Every structure is written in C-alpha cells, then in structure tokens.
A and B are shown apart, each in its own frame.
Chain A
Amino acid sequence: MASEELNGKKFTQMVLSGAHHLKNNAEKIDTLNVFPVPDGDTGTNMNLSITSGADEVKKLKGENISEVANAFSKGLLMGARGNSGVILSQLFRGFAKGMDKKETLSAEELANAFDNGVATAYKAVMKPVEGTILTVAKDAAEMAVLESETEKDVIVLMEKVVREAKASLKRTPELLPVLKEVGVVDSGGQGLVTIYEGFLAALKGEEVPEAETDDIEMDEMVNAQHHKIAQDFMDTSEIEYGYCTEFMVRFEDEKLKEHPFDEETFRKELSEHGDSLLVVSDDELVKVHVHAEYPGEVMTLGQRFGSLTNMKIENMRDQHTAIVDGEKERATQAGRTEYGIVTVAMGSGIKEMFESLGATVVLEGGQTMNPSTQDITEAITGANADNVLILPNNKNIVMAAEQATDLADANATVVPTKTIPQGIGALLAFHPDATIDENGEAMEAAGKEIKSGQVTYAVRDTQINGITIEKDHFMGLADGEIKASHKDQLETVKSLLGEMITEDDEILTILQGEDASAEDVKVIKRYVEDNYKDIEIEHHKGDQPIYSFIFSVE
C-alpha cells in the first residue's frame, strides 16, 4: 500500500499510536535513565508529555494536518515534563511550524518538517549534549531529508526514519561516556524511537506491537539497574537480598493452561521475593532479573509457566565482602601506624586545627597548665605508632617532653616548638615518607621560620626590657619577648605587628582567642589591609584562653 501524502486524519492516528506505544514502554525507558540525572523518570516524563499532546489532538476533528500538528505541539508544550519532555515539545513545535495551514504533506514536506523540528530543538540549548534524544532526532531527520529526494512514498520514508533513529540510538553510548560506562543506550533517545515506531505502525495501518522487547535489551536494563544499586551501596554494607538472579522461562502450552501467564501479576509476585526487579516478556519467553535472598523460590515461580534457560546466579555478599575486606585490611594496618604525632594545645579551635593537620593526639595544656611527663608518655603510647614526634608548643613543656621520650616504648623525638604557630608550621613540614630524624630536622627548621606573636593582659605591674607594664594593660609578645604594652588592645596589636611584619612576609594568621570578639578581628584585619598591602590574612577561631590573639607571620 503506497501513500504519496500524509493527511490530518492519518497524522492524528500516528500521534495516538505513538503515545500509546510510548505508554507501553515507559517503565522500561525509565530503567535506562542514567543521564543527565539518574532518577529513572524519562519514560514517565515523556509519557506524560506526549499524552498531553495526544489529548489536544483528540479534541480536534482534524482534517487539516497543520491544525493537528499545531494542536499536538501545543499539548506537548503545556504538558512538557522533564528534560526529554521539553525537548520533545520543541521537536514538534518546529515540526508544526512552517506548515502554513497545509491540508496534507508530501514525503518531502514531511522530511522538512522533521528537519525543522530538529533545527528548533537545537536552538533552545546553549550547549547541546550529543548522544541524547537530540542526536537521535537529528540523525533521523537528516536521513529523511536525504531519502525524500528520491523517495516519494511517505510510509517507506517513515520506515527509513525509524531505521535510522534506531541505528543512531545504538550509537549513543559512543557519544556519551556515561552511557557507555553503564552499558545502556540513551533513555530519551529510546523514547523517541518508540514514538516513531508508533507513528510507523499507524501509517501502515497496523496495531502497535505489544510491549516491544527487542529494542531495549534486557542486558541494558540490568546494567542500568545494577548501576543504581552500586550507587545505593556506597553508604551501606547491608545487603538484604544476597543473590543476583537472572533467568528466562520458555513458555510451555501445557503449563500455561494450568498457570496462565500475566506479566503484571508475575512481577508483583516476584517483588515480594527481592528487589532490583526487571521482568520482560513476549509470546514465547519471559526474562527475569532480580536480587533475591532465595533464588530457588524465584525460579520455582517461573517454572510454573515453562522451562528455565540461561540461568545465572551471583552471590552479591561475597562480591561485597571482598571489597569490604580489602578496606578492613587497610584499616588494621592503620591500627599501628609508622608515624604518630603528639602535640600540646589549648583551646578547642586550635585542637581541631592540629587534628585536621594530622596530629594523632592533642594534649590539653599551655602556658599556665603544663602537661606532666606522665601525660606525655601516655599520649605517646596512645598514638600507637612506631615513631612518635612530639610538638610541645611551649618552652616550659619541652623539658617534660624530652623526659617522656626516655620513658616511652616507641621511638620518640621532640621537635622543640615554643609556640602554637611554630607547632602548626612544624606540623605542615611533616612528611610521612621521610625518616624520623629527617622529619625532626625539617619540622624544627620549619617551626623556626615562623614568627609568633601573642596578645594577653598583665596580671601585675612590672618592668621588662625597658617596657613599663601596668596591671590589666595589654601586652604583646613576639617569640616570647614582650615588645609592646598599652592599655588599649588595638594599640598593642598595632605595635606588636609593627615589630613582627617585615617586607619579606606574606601571610599573617590570626588565631582568635575565647575572649576576643569578631568585631576586634574585623578591626585588626582592616588595619592590616590598610597598612600592609602585600600581606594575606588568614583567620581561625582558636578559642584559646589567656591569649586574646595569637599571630603567626611567615
């Protein structure tokens, strides 16, 4: 049956058939959905979009193809859902555009309409991603334009469009890496192929094939399903259903008489035995993929309808334990490490900072509260390492730390850091691949590079280094020596920083103490920005007691 023209009535049938065919396959298309967001709704979205388009067409007693196409386009736009739905609406907006109240379309005009649709669809995206529904539509339309030069029969032309769309769909994994990784074709592209198949069936005057299974391979769906599961398992090691089970049942008439087969019922039954379920059937076969705890039971269910073939069962717990064991092994090795670092700090913020930089044990202590030798010895043991580096961060603790190294059962070395900034600087120089002596030297050197400043208040009147200090005034110390004192905190900071910062310095780190306010920090930052143009400022909440500010300059 040849046909030179496509009229409104025929096109109405095509739309309805396309929508119907897509509806039948929506669920399968959902399983393929891994791009752009693997949320498994492409089929559903496309189905809702095209249904809205088909509803508009149904309202119309269309004789005129441009009217029908416009109604379809309008319905699609109103009902567009999801990325693929919006693209579909654009494809048919372009398709309908430029038909200019035509009653019928020739093969050439149909090809141009497809082409027009693609052009419109591509216009609406800044950065088209190839290997999607867009590519499938484009390839199919190009084929249509090419063929329409010689082919005048609309049905034959549509056949070629469908064939090229399918071929293009098969190529999508080559264009889009994520598809290749998962081993599936693009879900939106599959949706479009399904619609075109529906179109063709209507053109030929056929019923749409019931639940097409050839196009979407079971393997592809299984891949997509496993991909989703793999993502789910990232956080959890709990596997409820332990066996990945796949099999096919070849229907046998005698058994079917006893147990008539219904895909929906069968799927429901299986779903009680496991998850990640896929069931696809045609007249002769049903293919099943399921993660079940008792694969035998699932197979028995299938066996009621016929004989089993192509069975495959994998123990997913074994697979998973293999991965987990690998991790555990690493963790036990980590139990006793090669290097441990013990450091002393006060203030929760500074403690956290040391921990985040890699300190194994952070002892509480500082100027007014020195940890005992015993405390440090215990910390060395607690570090559970062959070599332990100790950063006392205070000159009063260095001695105790030295003593502790003699008592500890590990190979321990003290890096004589005298301030918190020195300790941080030293810790940054730690290198896990170097020997303990090399590390000790490098860390000590790094610590010395750093200039430390502290701001605190005087507890009594005194006179040191020619500076007169009154009780309750602020004092600024640079590397342990009092350099400034003033009754105003900011003035103290200013003269202290003046002593510390030279032209070669690049970074000022401010550790905000527990009695310093955010407002104080702001004022200091502004002062530094205004007066030292090349200095970069870092600010952390150290929450240390006694010192309202600790500065480090490097």
Chain B
Amino acid sequence: MSIELNTNDGQVTITNDVISTIAGGAAVECYGIVGMASKSQIRDGIAEILRKENFSKGVIVRQVEDHLHIDMYIIVSYGTKISEVAHNVQSQVKYTLSKSLGLEIDSVNIYIQGVRVSKD
C-alpha cells in the first residue's frame, strides 16, 4: 500500500515503508523510549527490540479513505511517566511526518509492548 500525492509536476508515490521508517526514526529520538517492538510478538520473538531495518514491523500505517492512522509498538524505559512519553512520541511523529512528507496524520496510536528495567 502506498500514499499518492499529486503535484503540479506529477505524481509522488510514498510507500508505507518510507512512512514507517520515518515515524520509527522520529519515535526513537523521543526521550523515554528504548525501542520499537514488533506488532506480533509471538511470531517475531517476545518484545524484541527492532532494528532500524525492521521498523515497519512495529509501525503500522493504515489508510482509511482519506485519513491516515499510525499504530506504533514501543518499549519504554522503566521509571518514566509512560503516558507522557507516549504523548511525546505522538506529537513528534505527527510533526516529523508533516515536516518531511507533508502528510497530515489523523491519529498516532501507541501500544506499549514492554518496559525495560535498567540493571542498577
């Protein structure tokens, strides 16, 4: 699936992979998030932290008619305020996608797939 934008000079097609990579990249720069997790943990391993190449497993882009929705599966750091971290991810992903692709996202849904407790 891909998003098509019509411009004066022609058409721009953006695949979901691009969107999920950018969204994932924006998310991991957010404070309090230690990784992206896979949507299907059973199949891909329990709460395995995804590498950049596999962000698309943890970032699902859904297009419902003209509206874009993004589901993100993340792992947060223990001891942070999870609701706030999630909120930061939402606003940063939304902002980054609008800045780099000109896409307006209707919703960014965050699924906390795990909490990483640091060793000390």
Q: Residues on A close to B: CB < 8 A?
A: 36-39, 77-78, 80-83, 85-87, 89-90, 93, 97, 120, 123-127, 129, 134, 356-358
Interface size on B, residues (CB 8 A): 23
Q: With an 8 A cutoff between CB atoms, is B81 at the interface?
A: yes
Q: Complex: how many Å from CA A483 to CA B72?
A: 51
The answer to whether A86 and B31 have CB atoms under 8 Å apart is yes
Q: Which 10 pairs across A and B sit closest by C-beta, in order of nearness?
A: A124-B77, A80-B81, A37-B95, A126-B28, A123-B118, A83-B88, A127-B28, A80-B84, A83-B31, A86-B32
* Distance in angstroms between the alpha carbons of A356 and B7 in the assembled complex: 8
User: A357: nearest residue on chain B (CB-CB)?
Assistant: B10
Residues of B within 8 A of A86 (CB): 31-32, 80-81, 84-85, 88
Q: Which of B51-103 contact A (CB under 8 A)?
A: 77, 79-81, 84-85, 88, 91-92, 95
A123 to chain B, nearest CB (A): 5
B118 — nearest CB in chain A belongs to which residue?
A: A123
Q: Does B44 contact A (CB under 8 A)?
A: no
Q: Which residue of A lies closest to B89 (CB)?
A: A83
Known contacts: A93-B79, A125-B34, A126-B35. The answer to whether A36 contacts B84 by CB under 8 A is: no
Partner of A90 from the list B11, B33, B80 (CB cut-off 8 Å) is: B80
Query: A358 vs B9: C-alpha distance in the bound complex, in angstroms?
Result: 7
Tell me if B112 counts as interface (CB < 8 A to partner A). no
Other than the known A80-B84, A125-B30, A357-B11, what 8 A-B pairs have Cβ atoms closer than 8 Å?
A36-B29, A77-B80, A83-B92, A86-B88, A120-B79, A124-B34, A127-B28, A127-B29
Q: How distant is the Cα of A212 from the Cα of B35 in the complex, in angstroms?
A: 39
Instruction: Closest A residue to B94 by CB, please name it.
Output: A37
- B-side residues, CB < 8 A to A, are 6, 10-11, 28-35, 77, 79-81, 84-85, 88, 91-92, 95, 118, 120
Which of A87, A125, A358 is in CB contact (< 8 Å) with B33?
A: A125
Query: Which residues of the partner chain B approach A77 to less than 8 Å between Cβ atoms?
Result: 79-81
Contact B118 A83 (CB under 8 A): no
Task: Find the B residue at minimum CB distance from A37.
Answer: B95
Q: Are B118 and A36 in contact (CB under 8 A)?
A: no
Distance in angstroms from B47 CB to nearest chain A CB is 14
Given the interface pairs A83-B30, A124-B79, the reply to whether A37 lies near B91 with Cβ below 8 Å is yes
| Nearest Cβ on chain B to A542's Cβ, whole angstroms | 16
Nearest Cβ on chain A to B119's Cβ, whole angstroms: 9
- Residues from chain A with Cβ under 8 Å of B79 in the complex: 77, 90, 93, 120, 124
B11: chain A residues within 8 A (beta carbon): 356-357
Docked-complex contact A356 and B6, CB < 8 angstroms: yes
A519 CA to B33 CA, complexed, in Å? 43
Contact at B6–A125, with CB atoms within 8 Å? no
Contacts of A93 in B (CB 8 A): 79
For A123, list chain B residues within 8 Å (CB). Answer: 77, 118
Contact B6 A126 (CB under 8 A): no
Check A36–B95 contact: CB distance below 8 A: yes
Complex alpha-carbon distance, A356 and B5, angstroms: 10
Q: How far is the CA of A30 from the CA of B29 in the complex (A)?
A: 21
A116 to chain B, nearest CB (A): 9
What B residues does A78 contact at CB under 8 A? Answer: 81
Instruction: Please tell me if the beta carbons of B31 and A87 are within 8 angstroms of each other in the complex.
Output: yes
Q: Would A80 and B80 count as touching, CB distance under 8 A?
A: yes
A-B CB contact pairs (8 Å), 21 listed: A36-B30, A77-B79, A77-B80, A82-B84, A83-B30, A86-B32, A86-B84, A89-B80, A90-B32, A90-B77, A90-B80, A97-B120, A120-B118, A124-B79, A124-B80, A125-B32, A127-B29, A356-B10, A356-B11, A357-B11, A358-B10
Q: For the complex, what is the distance from the CA of A80 to the CA of B92, rounded to whole Å?
A: 17
